[in-house]
Structures are given as structure tokens and as C-alpha cells.
Amino acid sequence: MTAALDAIPSPILVGVGGAAGALARHAVDGLLNGGRRSTFAVNVVGSTLLGALVAASPPAATLALIGTGFCGAFTTFSSFAVNVSRALDTGRVDLALADAAGTLVAALAGVGLGSVLVGV
């Protein structure tokens, strides 16, 4: 399969992976009714997947398809930033700090878990 991916231009791989990641993100939003839980889930799951992928040291084509494309579209920093900003705008500093710190810690733990799962 790697040889077949290597023959495809990188921008196409990123686009195909991005489309799949966006659809997966939409599915998670539907399952979790959007909002903070959905954003948290996709960021942690995506970080875990990306950590495992990078630790596995796949070919560049696989990184373009899954890492940049899928994970890039699946995870969402912008929604995370909006959630934190909205909490601050409503005076919920506690919620903003919990959201920001919790997402950062859980996403970094996900990267570590992904690496461990691959055996690095």
C-alpha cells in the first residue's frame, strides 16, 4: 500500500485525509451533541492517534494522509479557543481554566499514550 500512496501527490493525500477527518469530526459532534465534550474528545483522540503515528515513523505519504490530513481536520484548535473565550466572556474563569488546562494535559497524555502503544 505504501508504494501506491507514494505515487499520489501529497496535496491530494492531505485533501483526502482531511475530508475523512472532517467527516469523522462531524460524526463525533453528532454523537456527543457538539460543544465542549466533543471538542475535548476529538482533540484528545486526535492527539493520541498523531502521537502513535509519529512514533511509528511511517513514510511521508502516510504522514500526509493521516497526520496532516485526517488528524489536522479531525482535531480543532479553533473550537477549543472559542470554548475558552466564551467561558471567559461569561465570567466563568474557572471553566475557562479547566477547559484550557484539561485539554492541554489530556492531549499531551494522549500523545504519550499513542507513543507507548506503538512501542516507542
- Give the residue ranges of the annotated binding site: 72, 75
Binding-site positions for Na(+): 72, 75
Nearest CA to 14 out of 53, 50, 61 is that of 61
Place of cell 485533501: 15
- Rounded Cα–Cα distance for residues 17 and 21 (Å): 6
- Phi first, then psi: give them for residue 28, nearest 5 degrees: -65, -40
- Rounded Cα–Cα distance for residues 104 and 80 (Å): 10
Task: Name the E strands within 1-120.
Answer: none
- Rounded Cα–Cα distance for residues 73 and 120 (Å): 25
